[in-house]
């Protein structure tokens, strides 16, 4: 008789998200070594390099991801790099790319140096006391569709569709005028956008500028729900779509076309078609583009069905014509 067989446990994928503002004028020298290392370690995702620093989300076997992080920290510019971890039973990315960019998060304001100009960090534990001050203007630096899911009580929503629109909004509010100083507190998903936003304010001469260390994600991880000033859920740039207190997966679904959360009532809308469109983006694509999206969706569904028959982990992201972006916000 044949002996009992032991099933091979399914592979789990470690995802590491990290960024660091650091003066990196020779950023291109790191591109090839990182690409080779990631491919050798079976790590996939996206790494952005720019003269202002590094921004990335990568995923793969734990040993491989840790090897990439260890190599990065062995390089002088990235010695103080910190990262956030999460685990998945599915592969979040289909390929590995290392790209050189003008900015690791696009604001479009030349000459900013967030590595030295960013505002004062405020820990999650001290954030409530800061934003309870009536003299503090609390600004949500995220896009409108993110704010729609949740925000801090009393926060101002700039109503922007992209981060590059924030400088114009700040100027229109008079916040770039050093002759009219205010206390300003800013926050975003993981910290990267508010670091750059506070750097802009400080570059204009404002002094009392603060931002939430670790972003909303650190706050939701650290602060108990009964003490929280956060309302709703927080959009995240991965398969969870949104998270709530305790960084527990929320209740939102993602449009695979525009990569934004589905608005209320979307599933009942005639403008919703999985992988093709939702009420937010239906009018933004042509019929030719929709036909291409339908074909990509069909191919993805076939690949997913075959993977399920093979007992594979499959592919986490439906093919909307782009890879997942880095997840810090």
Would you say 307 and 301 are in contact if contact means Cβ atoms under 8 Å apart?
Answer: no
Can you give 113-163 as a three-state secondary structure string?
CHHHHCCEEECHHHHHHHHCCCCEEEEECCCHHHHCCEEECCCECCCCCCH
Q: Are 274 and 256 in contact (CB under 8 A)?
A: yes
What is the spatial distance between Cα 296 and Cα 286, in angstroms, rounded to a whole number? 15
Residues involved in catalysis? 188
* Contact present, 173 and 180 (Cβ < 8 Å): no
Whole-Å CA distances, 10 to 13, 85, 91, 112: 10, 19, 12, 46
Concatenating the DSSP letter of every residue in 291-326 gives HHHHHHHHHHHHHHHHHHHHT---BSS--SSSPPPP
């Amino acid at each position: 008789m044949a002996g009992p067989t032991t099933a091979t446990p399914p592979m789990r994928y470690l995802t590491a998200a990290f960024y660091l503002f650091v003066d990196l004028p020779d950023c291109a020298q790191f591109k090839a070594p990182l690409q080779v290392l990631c491919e050798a370690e079976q790590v996939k995702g996206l790494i952005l390099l720019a003269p202002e620093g590094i921004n990335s989300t990568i995923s793969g076997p734990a040993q491989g991801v840790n090897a990439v992080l260890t190599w990065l920290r062995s390089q002088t510019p990235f010695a103080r790099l910190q990262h956030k971890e999460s685990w998945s039973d599915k592969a979040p990315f289909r390929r590995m790319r290392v790209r050189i960019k003008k900015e690791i998060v696009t604001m479009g304001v030349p000459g900013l140096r967030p590595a030295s100009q960013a505002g004062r960090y405020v820990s999650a534990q001290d954030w409530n006391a800061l934003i309870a001050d009536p003299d503090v203007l609390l600004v949500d630096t995220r896009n409108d569709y993110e704010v729609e899911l949740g925000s801090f009580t009393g926060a101002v929503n700039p109503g922007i569709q992209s981060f590059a629109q924030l400088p114009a909004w700040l100027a229109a509010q008079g916040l770039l005028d050093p002759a009219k100083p205010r206390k300003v507190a800013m926050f975003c998903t993981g910290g990267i956008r508010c670091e750059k936003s506070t750097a802009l304010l400080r570059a204009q001469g404002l002094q009392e500028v603060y931002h939430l260390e670790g972003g909303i994600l650190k706050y939701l991880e650290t602060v108990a729900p009964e003490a929280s000033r956060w309302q709703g859920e927080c959009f995240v740039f991965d398969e969870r779509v949104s998270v709530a207190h305790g960084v527990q997966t929320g209740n939102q679904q993602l449009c695979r076309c525009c990569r934004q959360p589905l608005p209320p009532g979307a599933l009942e809308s005639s403008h919703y078609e999985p992988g093709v469109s939702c009420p937010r983006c239906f009018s933004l694509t042509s019929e030719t583009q929709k036909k291409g999206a339908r074909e990509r969706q069909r191919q993805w569904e076939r690949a997913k069905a075959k993977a399920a028959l093979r007992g594979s982990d499959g592919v986490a992201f439906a093919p909307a014509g782009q890879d997942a972006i880095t997840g810090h916000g």
